[in-house]
Structure 1
Amino acid sequence: MNVSMSTRIKKTLKHKLAALVPAWEGRVQDVPASGEVLSGPCAVLAFAEEVPKSAWAGYRRIIKISPYARSEDGGAEQVEVWSAELITGLHQVRLEDGEGGAFTCIYLGSTDSERRDAESGLVTRSLRFGVYIPEPQRTEHADAAGDLWLSALQRWTVDELGPDWSVYTEHWPEGYRMPSVLWRLTGYSTAGVGTAALEVRKQWVGHVLTGHTGMTDQTVGHLVEQLALQSRIAFHPRDVQSNEANESVEGNIRYLSVDEVTADMQADAYLNGQLRLTLSQRISRPMPTAPLMREIHHSKGIQ
């Protein structure tokens, strides 16, 4: 993370934290310098370790947010109240900096117990959040360009959810919007079906990200139900240049079969995804080639 990016992220988070807890009166600051004593209710924001990049989530960095409360204001109990407000206000929330860059905060838990700051006497504990920053993707790795299945799945999702939703493929893009869905390929297998056909199966993970838990859960449930009820996803005629065997065809439209779809409502929407989907399709095996028989000799008797 370069200095400019880290500065923008800190500035954005400080504004967000000040808005979430008005009692701090805007006192959200960096780690105090040596000898500096904190005063009044406030919060301290600090960058911690970097985490290896994710192919679909982008750059990741850990931050620590530490709310501080005076004993006369409730001490540890007040810290707990503020911690709950921070988790609700930041977990799986998309934030945008002043230059239009988007990042997502994910609550990772707290490894610290409540403690009293020796210099100020304030009570505090630290909350850990992951900051996820999508990275620009190279043009030759453009999302759905090389996978017709992914194009069909993306189109089906857009048709199902409507124009207010953004539907992405393979990775979260820079400046992504909510509400949104991300589909990415996680597995691929084949199996023989007799001597003439081959079944191709692909496994996908779906991420549903919105600003409201209720809306997220409702959308996940809707997609699971519709995939199960419709049981197939259409290729548009312009997408298809193949020799499928035993496929369902209506006019010039061919279909992918929905073999299985499940959802985990507790999964991290941005990083892990709630949906697990398996699609399949049968294709014909190529016929083996052999040299033509040139002569046949036949004899009635046995010598």
Structure 2
Amino acid sequence: MRTAIRKQIENSISELAGRIYDMDADISLPLPLCIIRQGEETAEYPWNGYRCYFEVILYGSGFAKVDQLSEQIIEALHEKVLVFDTGNSLTCRYTGNPGGDMVNVGRTGASRTLRFAAMKQLAYEKPDQEPFWLAGLQEWTQETAGDEWTVYTGWWPTGYIRPCILWRLSGSELVMTNTSVLDVDNRLSVHVIGRSPEEEQSMVNTLIEAIGRQVKLPLDASHQHHYLVKECATNLEADRIASGQISVVLRMKTSKKVEAKPLMNNIHYSEEPKY
């Protein structure tokens, strides 16, 4: 992880090239410089990998230099997707400046700690075949959102491209009926990631309105199979990577499978003999 972060900073800020360290740097080294310190890492969910934290400790000749480089580091890392050599990827988010600025007497300069949270997506092999209805939702969403958007299903892929939308199955319920038909309610989460907050919220609104206009969503190109829209809600404050801003409940009808058994053709009856 440190290697990918270091490369991103060095490629974005030439002034810090060769001046990024993984541990406390010698006090005699010239300024500016920064130290990358990795924090805790916790497992999240299969579809979004691990949540981890890291800090970039920046040292500069004065507060003006620290201000300048801090803005550049945040711009280089915030909301960026970094791809590792292993195929895994990291989505960074700037979370603030813990502790505030400090005067470093030993280095005769100023220092600031920039804290980042990150989601670490793991490389995985996607199933050869997905449910046909999930592919149908992907196709419908692509037509609704337009070619500029990329639509994914299942899990976040490594190195996903913005702007993008992810459909993820989060739960199912089987509703028993007295007929030969079963009702299957699937709850899906829809994640929307734009290139800006305005673009992101606009697409959330577009999808909500489009789903609301559709009493039934087509599940295949022939429009022979449909989903009945039961519920549709949005939460703009939800984590767009881990949870998704839109929750949808879709109902699909399917036939009950009756196990084939031998039929009763004849009944033979005879009275008990009389004595």
Which category of TM-score, normalised to the shorter sequence, fits these structures?
0.7 to 0.9
Relative to structure 1, the CA distance from residue 179 to residue 72 in structure 2 (aligned partners, 3 Å threshold; closer, same or farther) is: closer
Aligned counterpart, 2:16: 26
In the TM superposition, residue 147 of structure 1 has moved relative to its aligned partner by 1.5
Q: 1:152 aligns with which of 136, 142, 147?
A: 136
Aligned counterpart, 2:183: 199
- Is 1:285 the counterpart of 2:269 in the alignment? no
User: 2:3 & 2:231 partners in 1: Cα distance?
Assistant: 45
Q: Which string of whole-angstrom CA distances, capped at 9 and with x for unpartnered residues, describes residues 228-268 of structure 1?
A: 11132112267xxxxxxxxxxxxx62210121222222233
User: 1:226 & 1:215 partners in 2: Cα distance?
Assistant: 16
Q: Which amino acid counterpart does residue 279 of structure 1 have in structure 2? A: L
- Is 1:127 the counterpart of 2:99 in the alignment? no
Partner of 2:167, secondary structure, is strand
| Unmatched runs of 5 consecutive residues or more in structure 1 | 20-24, 239-251, 298-303
**Number of aligned residue pairs:** 267
Aligned counterpart, 2:4: 8
In the TM superposition, residue 176 of structure 1 has moved relative to its aligned partner by 2.2
Relative to structure 1, the CA distance from residue 109 to residue 26 in structure 2 (aligned partners, 3 Å threshold; closer, same or farther) is: closer
In the TM superposition, residue 177 of structure 1 has moved relative to its aligned partner by 1.5
Q: Which amino acid counterpart does residue 15 of structure 1 have in structure 2? A: N
Identity across the alignment (%): 25
8 Å contact kept, 1:94–1:104: yes
User: 2:28 & 2:247 partners in 1: Cα distance?
Assistant: 50
Aligned counterpart, 2:91: 104
- Is 1:219 the counterpart of 2:219 in the alignment? no
| Unmatched runs of 5 consecutive residues or more in structure 2 | 270-275
Partner of 2:176, secondary structure, is strand
Q: 1:52 aligns with which of 43, 46, 54?
A: 43
1:155-174 residue pairs with structure 2 within 5 A?
Answer: 155-174=139-158
1:87-98 residue pairs with structure 2 within 5 A?
Answer: 90-95=77-82
Partner of 1:193, secondary structure, is coil
In the TM superposition, residue 33 of structure 1 has moved relative to its aligned partner by 4.0
Relative to structure 1, the CA distance from residue 260 to residue 113 in structure 2 (aligned partners, 3 Å threshold; closer, same or farther) is: same
Q: 2:54 aligns with which of 49, 63, 66?
A: 63
TM-score under structure 1 length normalisation: 0.72
In the TM superposition, residue 181 of structure 1 has moved relative to its aligned partner by 1.1
